[in-house]
Amino acid sequence: MAKKKNILLIYTGGTIGMVKDYKTNSLLPFDFNNLKKKIPELNQLPCKIKTVTFKKPIDSSNMNTKYLVDIINIIQEHYQTTDGFVVLTGSDTMSYTASAISFMLKNLCKPVIFTGSQLPIGDLRTDAKENVITAIEIASANKNDEPIIKEVGLYFEYKLYRGNRTTKINSEHFDAFASPNFPHLAESGVHLYFKEHLLLKKKCSEKLIVQKTLNQNVVVLKLFPGITENTIKTILNTKDLKGVVLETFGAGNAPTNKAIINLLKEAIKKGIQIVNVTQCTTGRVNMRLYETGIMLKNIGVISGKDITTEAALAKLMYLLANKEVENTEFKKYFETSLRGEITDF
């Protein structure tokens, strides 16, 4: 008989951790120590489940680098004695959080699965139960005595995605997330089906390396028709600014206005890293296609290829804080896949 896997459930906050008090009709925090009483189906899973809860659960809108480090510390503390992790957090910033955690954990060789819900766990039509049950099942899934998933994933509404490939697309439907430029990794139906050819392949001989610092001196600059030079100048002159995620049109295009191009050029000369990410939901940046993109390439703007804005922001913060990454190598590191967040072609 196979040994039961040890799964750690980490609750940071969010809708999934709430239950309705039917006397007052208000939402109250759920006691995760009674998880199996609320979801008795968990007793059927071949794993032992322990829970850790933030002392003061947070709304996901309040997620910041401090809380990211809190998650990292919990994972690091239990890494040797735990087979898989399920992180319960609010869905609004889940893609940002999953992306950041994926970069902060180098050589990760165990599943870290993010999930949450659109309705509280005690609601009549809640999606919380299915999401929790399947996320735990995924985190405990093994093949040849090795975890099937060896990366940060995000599970929602019957699909497992690579965490740093996701974006939240809906605030009302249960299928709240999408992975626009990369297929989902697994699907839950009558059977739990893993697309093993899409999973990150890792040899687990290297030690887990944890980076607990992120450079927060970054900004997302979204271009729009009519954006003024003064607006761009003000943003680029932000004190201590180190990085910019530049959301451009189509295949990575920006206005050919010389004043705007010069502002970007001067910022790059000052050492600010500027990454080009398309505003389109699907597709990739190609700065060789049109004059409006070629101009950005020529001044040293970095291609985000098919990365999401959430992952681009997280990767920028991670690399800017990584002492091993020299300024001259920054472009090479960003344009190379580190955790499966970008397509190398």
> Hey, which residues are catalytic here?
15
Give the contacts of 226 (CB within 8 A, at least 6 positions apart): none
Separation between Cα atoms, residue 280 and residue 306, nearest integer Å:
10
Give the contacts of 21 (CB within 8 A, at least 6 positions apart): 27, 28
Tokens of 87: 């992180």
Separation between Cα atoms, residue 166 and residue 183, nearest integer Å:
10
Measured in whole angstroms, the distance separating CA 90 from the mean position of its chain's CA atoms is: 12
Provide the 8-state DSSP code for 336. S
Residue with tokens 């389109």: 280
Q: Are 210 and 108 in contact (CB under 8 A)?
A: no
Separation between Cα atoms, residue 13 and residue 55, nearest integer Å:
10
Q: Residue 175: which of 118, 134, 120 has the closest Cα?
A: 118
